[in-house]
């Protein structure tokens, strides 16, 4: 009964918070004020965007070596909501005895970056429509692959990260048996740890219930 009361209180508090966020030009409530974000975290610690540590990262959006040809982040870091990080740590621990590791390409993505990406690739299979926002804007989605711990070599997934073609889709028959098996390994494990896939990108997974996290446009520099 106590837990139900806390849940109801939290739900009402978050709803009241959402009403304080003015809609943007598309009618979306996007948190862009750092003080509002900090207030949200006080209401619900799971809303905190934590910096990923202890897991290899390869943040190409912090360089010009990405599909936009421009650096989109001020520095190489991955931030995700606290429950996302906790599940990734659990997965990393499970993989360790197999000589494997997670490698993360991207996590939280400020809304303004989504707008820039849409200008380059206005295709909802491969980029989020700013009229809707994305799991990345909510800090609840990750782009990742698996690597061999000793060498750092990526498992063969059939295409590079951010290849926008049907070959990158889950279930594509235009990849080798090895690549298909590696994709299935990621798929099965991510599902087991509470994530759901994006059909058109083998690397993209979002935590179930991602909608509980509001869209965000807090710059990296304002996060810890």
CATH number at residue 123: 3.30.1380.10
Residue 204, annotated as binding a ligand: yes
Annotation says 46 is catalytic: no
Residue 156, annotated as binding a ligand: no
Q: Is 188 part of any domain?
A: yes
Q: Is 3 part of any domain?
A: no
- Kindly report, residue by residue over 51-93, the tens digit of the pLDDT: 999 999 999 999 999 999 999 999 999 999 999 999 999 999 9
Asked if 118 contacts 128 with a C-beta cutoff of 8 angstroms, the reply is yes
pLDDT at residue 12 tops 80 = no
Asked if 72 contacts 61 with a C-beta cutoff of 8 angstroms, the reply is yes
Written as six digits, the tokens of 218 are 């807090």
Q: Is 54 part of any domain?
A: yes
Can you give the pLDDT at residue 98? Answer: 97
Can you give the pLDDT at residue 224? Answer: 75
Categorize the per-residue pLDDT at 20 as very low, low, confident or very high, splitting at 50, 70 and 90. confident
The pairing of beta strand 141-148 with beta strand 30-31: unpaired
Residue 123, annotated as binding a ligand: no
Can you give the pLDDT at residue 18? Answer: 58
Q: Is 172 part of any domain?
A: yes
Categorize the per-residue pLDDT at 7 as very low, low, confident or very high, splitting at 50, 70 and 90. very low
User: Which residues are CB-contacts of 197 (< 8 A; sequence separation ≥ 6)?
Assistant: 170, 187, 190, 191, 204, 205
Q: Is 21 part of any domain?
A: no
Q: Is 92 part of any domain?
A: yes
The structural domain count of the chain equals 1
Q: Is 56 part of any domain?
A: yes
Expressed as residue numbers, the domain containing 123 is 49-219
User: Which region holds residue 147: left if phi is over 0, alpha if psi is between -120 and 50, else beta?
Assistant: beta
pTM: 0.91
Active-site residue (options: 48, 87, 201, 221):
201
* Residue 24, CA distances (Å) to 40, 98, 198, 220 in order: 19, 46, 26, 20
Higher pLDDT, 11 or 169: 169
Can you give the pLDDT at residue 154? Answer: 98
134: three-class secondary structure by DSSP: coil
Q: Is 33 part of any domain?
A: no
Can you give the pLDDT at residue 13? Answer: 52
Q: What percent of the chain has pLDDT over 90?
A: 90
């Amino acid at each position: 009964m106590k837990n139900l009361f806390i849940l109801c209180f939290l739900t009402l508090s978050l709803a009241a918070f959402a009403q304080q966020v003015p809609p943007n030009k598309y009618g979306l409530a996007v948190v862009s004020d750092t003080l509002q974000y900090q207030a949200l975290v006080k209401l619900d610690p799971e809303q905190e965007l934590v910096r990923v540590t202890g897991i290899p990262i390869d943040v190409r959006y912090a360089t010009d070596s990405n599909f936009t040809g421009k650096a989109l982040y001020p520095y190489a870091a991955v931030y995700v909501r606290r429950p996302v990080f906790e599940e990734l740590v659990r997965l990393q621990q499970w993989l360790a005895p197999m000589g494997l590791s997670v490698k993360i390409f991207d996590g939280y993505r400020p809304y303004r970056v989504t707008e820039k990406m849409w200008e380059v690739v206005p295709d909802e299979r491969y980029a989020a429509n700013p009229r809707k926002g994305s799991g990345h804007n909510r800090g609840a989605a990750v782009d990742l692959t698996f690597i061999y711990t000793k060498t750092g070599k990526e498992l063969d997934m059939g295409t590079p990260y951010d290849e926008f073609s049907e070959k990158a889709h889950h279930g594509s028959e235009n990849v080798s048996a090895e690549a298909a098996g590696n994709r299935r390994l990621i798929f099965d494990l991510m599902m087991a740890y509470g994530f759901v896939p994006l059909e058109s990108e083998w690397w993209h997974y979002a935590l179930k219930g991602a909608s509980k996290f509001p869209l965000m446009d807090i710059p990296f520099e304002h996060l810890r």
